[in-house]
Amino acid sequence: MAARPATPASPKNHKVKDAQPGQPMYGCEHTQKLFNQDQNTTNTSIQHYKSILRSIFDTNPLISQTTKGSDGVIHTTLTPAWLCLQCPGTLTEEDLVRHGSKKQHRFYVDSRNAALYCQMCDDIVWDPTFEELRIQKQVTGTFSTSRKRKHEELPDPIKDNPTFISANTTIASCKANGLRGIYNAGATCYQNVVLQSFLHNPILRNFYLSDGHQCESPHCLSCAMDDMFQDFYASEVTNGYTAANILSGFWISEKKAFENLVTTKEQDAHEFFQFLAEELHERNGDGKKPEIGSEHSCTCIIHQTFYGKLQSTTTCQNCQGVTNQVQSFLDLSLPLENVTPASAKKKKAGGAKATVMTLQDCLDEEYIKSDKCEYRCHNCSSMQQARRQTSIKRLPNVLAIQFKRFEYKQGRHERAAKIDTPVQFPLSLNMLPYTSRARGGEGKENYELARSCTYDLLSVIVHVGEIDTGHYVSYCRVGDQWFAFNDHKVEVAQLSDVLNAKAYLLFYMVRSLS
Amino acid sequence: MSAPENTGKAGVLVAAEDAPITDKLAHATLDDVLYNIVHDILIKVHRDEKTARANTAAIKVEKLALNSIDSSSTDQRPDVEVETDSAIYKDGNVTLKGNPLKTTKEILCPKCHLPRLLHPTDGKGGKKPDPSVIYCKKHPYIEKPGYDIYGQTWVAPGPGRGKKKKDMKDKLDPNDPSSPAAIMEGSAKDRPPNVLSFPSATCSKCKRCILVTRLNNHMGSCIGNSGRNASRAAAQKISNSNGGSQNNDNTPPGSQKGTPLPTSRAASPRKRDGDEFDEDAEESDPTNPKKKKLKPTALNKKVILKAKSPAATLKKEKIAKGSSMLNVEQKADDIDGNSTVQVAPKKSVPKGPSPTKKIKLNPSKPPVPSPGGKKGKRDRDMESESSGTLSSPPR
Ligand SMILES: [Zn+2]
Ligand SMILES: [Zn+2]
Ligand SMILES: [Zn+2]
Ligand SMILES: [Zn+2]
Ligand SMILES: [Zn+2]
Ligand SMILES: [Zn+2]
Ligand SMILES: [Zn+2]
């Protein structure tokens, strides 16, 4: 069902990707031949591959998975179909050989992931020219290399952030990989987990490893971070790290707001995250205090990494007047109580199995549903009933999420309690439904927009145990591999360990940056 | 559409021949989904492996090409023709011969060009590496209970205020499993090299050397005491003396004192906490002038050596890490990472600037393309999204 859009070929000549040292120039001898016939063949091959990519990634998968057999029967499959690179045909696996011998077409594209199959090699080939296009399309959703924000909802592109490539660093040994534990300096595991999540945050890593922070202030916490990044990524030491400078920077910090934190008792990792973010903002940013609730537009590395914007829309029930309020956020704080799991509504009848709450349930509750409130309406000049709805106006590059597991219980004995409810969270998260744009009804069925709002899980911070005797551990992803961090100890983690954890803090990074 | 068969493409989940059609459909669908999962994993693994082998073939033939010319030449792309079983070097370009999965058996590190060790040295799937081969220092991670990814384990943090840790014992040096005190000093030589001890660090204020597990307590009173925190720190001291000692238990629950305070400051949005909006604060217009465009600028603008600046000398607490690092660097046969045992970071040494130690993103080299690496693509292919479709496919 070759329903691919056919637009006139661009007059531009396409180029085969330049040879790179340590890499072959072509995926196999046959793509080599393809690219060395003439400019026209190269042009059409690359153009056609791009249109196949668009068809696979930007349209309903039904289109690329629908084939027309030799018998003329149209067939849609769940399993991969093969899109011919040299004609508009889409074929089943069984038909490949016949199509190949009949038409002399030798290259086919897997409809699930756009991998290129070479019939003469009888193998998938990874041709640098095609691969570059495929990854561009799959990751960033576009062939355009401009990093401008296309939609208001999308995160700002990171300014000046060099891509970190370990092969590209001058001195670092192959052994220096950023994987080290951090010693517990006495109930400091709440700091360690946050530090690990910063260490394995690619944006912050690139910033510090490219000397993004330069200053001469004594006792600067950002300088201490800089030192720590160097020690993790430039040295071969595998022993745990002693975060003495971070700790003394923490103790020296003048932030009165954090008096709660400054004790030698175990503290809240979320508060430490906020402390660290604000302290690093002050060391790198515009010098202004990050105002809570206001639209503060700093371009420091912390703001570029974590900050997004929320929009609250309040509609007066009397005059239907609408009030918008925008505020910045460092993280999304999600209550776990009074959340109705979507699965609970669907199968009320079943009842036997306990329904599991998901992260999406919590987000639905906060950023899709509206609630009633009272407010002073300007038009009506009086207190009125109003509906209020909050959505995300600007997504951040790294989305920090806190589950409110520690809450004051009002009652006879007002004391803190821990909510131990498990919450399922996905490896990749589509944030489009929670944006103001989706609120306006836009964006449905827009695969490209949905992909640019896709986030991949980066790290998970877990509080284990009771509220006052607990311990913090964390999981961080490096490439595709997950690691468990328990103070000085780093272990390989299975995906199931990560996804079964009772998360307290989650960090997701927008996919287009990965 | 024809009636569904009783299984899908994987053929693993098969419905009975006489099963109702919905049953067959369910089996077929589930079986197809299973097929897709395996297919996706396979494609990923195939890509990693085949790319690594293809690059190995390229590295090898490039090395041969460089060796074949006059060693005094600095030409990185010599104009020679060299051929191996797996690749051809010609006109400065490498092309493959045959399928690298068949022609190339080992994997060379793209960075140091040494062979990669393909199995861990210990634990799950562990094998002893060939002692005659110098491997790349990046090893597969070790999965072994009680040990970390480098095969390291730790002795108990020491005597004194730390409680004795039951679960620590099985990780202790077999020579003295019950006596943490004996491990403290002088016994480093008796321990296997992968058994590490807790280091000490220097307090930035009083310059005393403190065992890391007591650092927070110490700084709390030492630094915290100096100013506004004096009274609190004093109070702290008292509270710490009654059993508030720390330990480095490896098991998560029940070991550390922990009181995550629920009185979180309100930097995160709490839309339901405030009851009403102040109407004066309404309507922040997104078009206001603060919208700065964050255009990416050239890579090399960013990367500046900073260590030459006086800043380096101001960083009194900078860790003297250079010497030990270089030592390790020279030991090419150090494959176990054992050289890290001695590293109780000596922070007391005030250091002059030593710019070369810093890891840098090298601005002069062209970025090596990697999946997702987007630099270096900037200047090519700016064509718009909507054009560029094939109108007449090549024959
Ligand atoms: Zn064809
Ligand atoms: Zn081929
Ligand atoms: Zn600084
Ligand atoms: Zn800032
Ligand atoms: Zn009104
Ligand atoms: Zn290497
Ligand atoms: Zn001191």
Say how many Å lie between the CA of residue B65 and the centre of ligand 2: 25
Residue B297 has a pLDDT of: 34
B313 and B227 housed in the same domain = yes
Q: Is residue B115 part of a domain?
A: no
Measured between CB atoms, does A329 come within 8 Å of chain B?
Answer: yes
Q: Is residue B343 part of a domain?
A: yes
Q: Is residue B116 part of a domain?
A: no
Residue B231 has a pLDDT of: 44
Residue A178 has a pLDDT of: 92
Q: Is residue B139 part of a domain?
A: no
Tell me whether residues B212 and A181 touch, CB distance under 8 A.
Answer: no
Among B68, B103, B138, residue at a domain's last position: B103
Three-class SS string for A181-228?
Answer: CECCCCCCHHHHHHHHHHHCCHHHHHHHHCCCCCCCCCCCHHHHHHHH
Name chain B contacts of A8, Cβ cutoff 8 Å. Answer: 387, 389, 391
Measured between CB atoms, does A374 come within 8 Å of chain B?
Answer: yes
State the sign of the Cα–Cα–Cα–Cα dihedral A371, A376, A379, A385: positive
Residue A409 has a pLDDT of: 62
Three-class SS string for A61-106?
Answer: HHHHCEEECCCCCEEECCCCCEEECCCCCEECHHHHHHHHHHHCCC
Q: Is residue B190 part of a domain?
A: yes
Q: How do the pLDDT tens digits run along chain A, 514 residues long?
A: 444 554 554 567 888 998 888 999 999 999 999 999 999 999 999 999 999 999 998 888 888 888 887 777 888 888 999 999 999 999 998 899 999 999 999 999 999 999 999 999 999 999 999 999 999 888 776 676 555 555 677 777 766 555 544 334 445 788 888 999 999 998 889 999 999 999 999 999 999 988 888 888 888 899 999 999 999 998 888 999 999 989 888 888 766 445 555 555 667 899 899 989 988 998 887 666 655 555 567 888 999 999 999 999 999 988 988 888 898 899 999 998 877 777 665 555 444 456 789 999 999 999 988 888 888 888 888 888 899 999 999 999 999 999 998 876 666 565 677 888 899 999 999 999 999 887 766 655 677 788 888 999 999 999 998 877 789 999 999 988 999 999 999 999 999 999 999 999 999 999 887 6
Among B58, B86, B103, residue at a domain's last position: B103
Residue B162 has a pLDDT of: 41
Q: Ligand nearest A386 Cα, by number?
A: 5
B181 and B302 housed in the same domain = yes
- B 308-367: CB under 8 A from A: 309-311, 314-319, 321, 324-325, 328-329, 337, 339-341, 343, 345, 347, 356-363, 365, 367
Q: Is residue B3 part of a domain?
A: no
B209 and B320 housed in the same domain = yes
Say how many Å lie between the CA of residue A322 and the centre of ligand 5: 8
The separation between the first and the last C-alpha atoms of chain B, rounded to the nearest angstrom, is 32
Condensed to tens digits (0 to 9), the pLDDT of residues B60-72 reads 999 999 888 766 6
What residues pack around ion ligand 7 (CB closer than 5 A)? B 203, 205-206, 222
Chain-wide mean pLDDT for chain B? 63
Supply B98's token pair.
Answer: 């045959």
Measured between CB atoms, does A365 come within 8 Å of chain B?
Answer: no
CA distance B339 to A100: 58
Say how many Å lie between the CA of residue A30 and the centre of ligand 7: 68
The predicted model gives B328-347 an average pLDDT of 36
Among B103, B124, B141, residue at a domain's last position: B103
B185 and B300 housed in the same domain = yes
CA distance B382 to B212: 54
B218 and B331 housed in the same domain = yes
Within a 10 A sphere around the Cβ of A392, how many other Cβ atoms? 28
Supply A361's token pair.
Answer: 């349930």
Say how many Å lie between the CA of residue A86 and the centre of ligand 1: 5
Supply A20's token pair.
Answer: 């790179």
Q: Is residue B274 part of a domain?
A: yes
Name chain A contacts of B149, Cβ cutoff 8 Å. Answer: 179, 483, 490-492
Among candidates A87, A152, A418 on the partner chain, residue whose Cβ is nearest the Cβ of B286: A152
Nearest CA in chain A to B346: A242
Say how many Å lie between the CA of residue B256 and the centre of ligand 7: 23
Say how many Å lie between the CA of residue B217 and the centre of ligand 7: 10
| Structural domain boundaries, residue B231 | 167-387
CB-CB contact of A59 with A447 (8 Å): yes
Residue A31 has a pLDDT of: 96
Name chain B contacts of A11, Cβ cutoff 8 Å. Answer: none
Among candidates B213, B215, B311 on the partner chain, residue whose Cβ is nearest the Cβ of A244: B215
CA distance A332 to A327: 12
**Residues facing residue A454 across a β-bridge:** A430
Supply A447's token pair.
Answer: 């695969």
B303 and B177 housed in the same domain = yes
State the sign of the Cα–Cα–Cα–Cα dihedral A260, A265, A269, A273: positive
CA distance B186 to B202: 20
Name which of A9-18, A273-282, B136-145, B336-345 the model is least confident about.
B336-345
CA distance B107 to B59: 10
Tell me whether residues B269 and A327 touch, CB distance under 8 A.
Answer: yes
**Residues facing residue A385 across a β-bridge:** A374
DSSP SS3 for A508: strand
- Name every residue whose Cβ is closer than 8 Å to that of residue A28 and which is 6 or more positions away in sequence: A118, A120, A121, A123, A125, A127, B96, B99
CA distance B245 to A264: 10
| 3-state helix, strand and coil shares in percent for chain B, rounded to the nearest 5 | 30, 5, 65
CA distance A240 to A180: 6
Tell me whether residues B293 and A148 touch, CB distance under 8 A.
Answer: yes
B73 and B220 housed in the same domain = no
A200 alpha carbon, distance to own chain's centre: 13
The pLDDT of residue B174 is above 70: no
The pLDDT of residue B309 is above 50: no
Q: Where are the alpha helices (DSSP H) in B170-211?
A: 180-183
B283 and B365 housed in the same domain = yes
CB-CB contact of A188 with A247 (8 Å): yes
Tell me whether residues A45 and B281 touch, CB distance under 8 A.
Answer: no
Within a 10 A sphere around the Cβ of A5, how many other Cβ atoms? 11
Q: Which domains does chain A carry?
A: 29-166 (3.30.40.10)
Tell me whether residues A242 and B8 touch, CB distance under 8 A.
Answer: no
Measured between CB atoms, does A380 come within 8 Å of chain B?
Answer: no
Residue A399 has a pLDDT of: 97
B82 and B189 housed in the same domain = no
Residue B96 has a pLDDT of: 95
| Total domains, chain B | 2
Q: Ligand nearest A302 Cα, by number?
A: 4
B282 and B358 housed in the same domain = yes
- Report residue B171's pLDDT band, with 50, 70 and 90 as the boundaries: very low
Name chain B contacts of A169, Cβ cutoff 8 Å. Answer: 359-362
B39 and B178 housed in the same domain = no
- A 1-60: CB under 8 A from B: 4-10, 12, 14-15, 17, 19-29, 32, 40-41, 44-48, 50-51, 54
The pLDDT of residue B183 is above 70: no
DSSP SS3 for A277: helix
- Report residue B199's pLDDT band, with 50, 70 and 90 as the boundaries: confident
Measured between CB atoms, does B195 come within 8 Å of chain A?
Answer: no
CA distance A342 to A386: 25
Say how many Å lie between the CA of residue A118 and the centre of ligand 2: 5
Among candidates B1, B201, B388 on the partner chain, residue whose Cβ is nearest the Cβ of A9: B388
Q: Which of A281-285, A298-302, B146-150, B218-222 has the highest mean pLDDT?
A: B146-150
Nearest CA in chain A to B280: A378
B88 and B184 housed in the same domain = no
The pLDDT of residue B291 is above 60: no
Name chain A contacts of B92, Cβ cutoff 8 Å. Answer: 19
Residue A412 has a pLDDT of: 58
Q: For B98, how many CA atoms within 13 A lie in the half-sphere containing its CB?
A: 10
Residue B64 — left, alpha, or beta (φ > 0 → left; ψ -120 to 50 → alpha)?
Answer: alpha
Name chain B contacts of A248, Cβ cutoff 8 Å. Answer: 203-205, 219, 223, 317
Nearest CA in chain B to A20: B368
Within a 10 A sphere around the Cβ of B71, how many other Cβ atoms? 7
The pLDDT of residue B245 is above 80: no
Supply A8's token pair.
Answer: 């006139």
Say how many Å lie between the CA of residue A506 and the centre of ligand 4: 21
Nearest CA in chain B to A53: B389
Measured between CB atoms, does A210 come within 8 Å of chain B?
Answer: yes
**Of A19, A49, A266, nearest in space to A143 by CA:** A49
Q: In residues, how long is chain A? A: 514
Q: Is residue B368 part of a domain?
A: yes
CA distance A511 to A141: 10
Name chain A contacts of B319, Cβ cutoff 8 Å. Answer: 227, 231
Tell me whether residues A470 and B253 touch, CB distance under 8 A.
Answer: yes
Nearest CA in chain A to B342: A239
Q: Where are the alpha helices (DSSP H) in A118-188?
A: 128-135
The pLDDT of residue B95 is above 90: yes
Residue B314 has a pLDDT of: 34
Measured between CB atoms, does A467 come within 8 Å of chain B?
Answer: yes
Q: For B305, how many CA atoms within 13 A lie in the half-sphere containing its CB?
A: 12
Three-class SS string for A278-328?
Answer: HHHHHHHCCCCCCCCCCCCCCCCHHHHHHCEEEEEEEEECCCCCEEEEEEE
- Report residue B394's pLDDT band, with 50, 70 and 90 as the boundaries: very low
